[in-house]
């Protein structure tokens, strides 16, 4: 027997396949190795360009949130930037609270998915540099 839903079922399957292909096509745009680096409680998010974007004039968009919060917040100074880092010291100032950050890429009008850090608590992940 054939599918019971006929044409509507076929259309839904086709749309899901197209969405899956589009997401897979944008996957190489996603920033790689997104992580916090903390020196003397100065917390900077770093990342590398996606696999197909090395040397490209891509733009990056950064958001952050405290663990347990639902809403992500845009980091204004790191919204549509070309650099590969973002200072989140002020946004992660409570050294005992855990935070997350995420970054996405835009290139030629196409946006990647978000690349999210692991949970970050600056008290546990700090390093001190004498100078």
At residue 76, the pLDDT reads 95
Q: pTM for the complete prediction?
A: 0.74
Mean pLDDT score, 26-39: 89
Q: What percent of the chain has pLDDT over 90?
A: 55
More confident residue, 128 or 40: 40
Whether residue 55 is predicted with pLDDT greater than 90 in this model: the reply is no
Q: Dump the DSSP string for 51-71.
A: TT-TT---EEEEEEEETT-SS
How high is the mean pLDDT of the chain? 80
- 29-127, CATH topology level: Immunoglobulin-like (2.60.40)
Q: Among 7-11, 27-31, 67-71, where is mean pLDDT lowest? A: 7-11
Taking only the tens place, the pLDDT of each residue in 76-120 is 999 999 999 999 999 998 988 999 999 999 998 899 999 999 999
At residue 70, the pLDDT reads 95
Whole-number Å distance between alpha carbons of 101 and 131: 29
The answer to whether the CB of 36 falls within 8 A of the CB of 88 is: yes
């Amino acid at each position: 027997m054939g599918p019971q839903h006929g044409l509507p079922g076929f259309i839904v399957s086709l749309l899901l396949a197209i969405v899956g292909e589009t997401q897979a096509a944008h996957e190489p745009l996603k920033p790689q190795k997104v992580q916090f680096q903390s020196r003397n409680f100065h917390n900077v998010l770093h990342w590398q360009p996606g696999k197909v974007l090395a040397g490209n004039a891509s733009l990056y968009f950064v958001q952050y949130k405290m663990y347990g919060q639902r809403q992500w917040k845009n980091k204004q100074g790191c919204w549509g930037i070309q650099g590969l880092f973002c200072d989140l010291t002020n946004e992660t100032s409570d050294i005992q609270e855990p935070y997350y950050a995420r970054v996405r890429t835009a290139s030629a009008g196409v946006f990647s998915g978000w690349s999210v850090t692991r949970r970050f608590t600056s008290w546990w992940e700090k390093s001190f540099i004498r100078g």
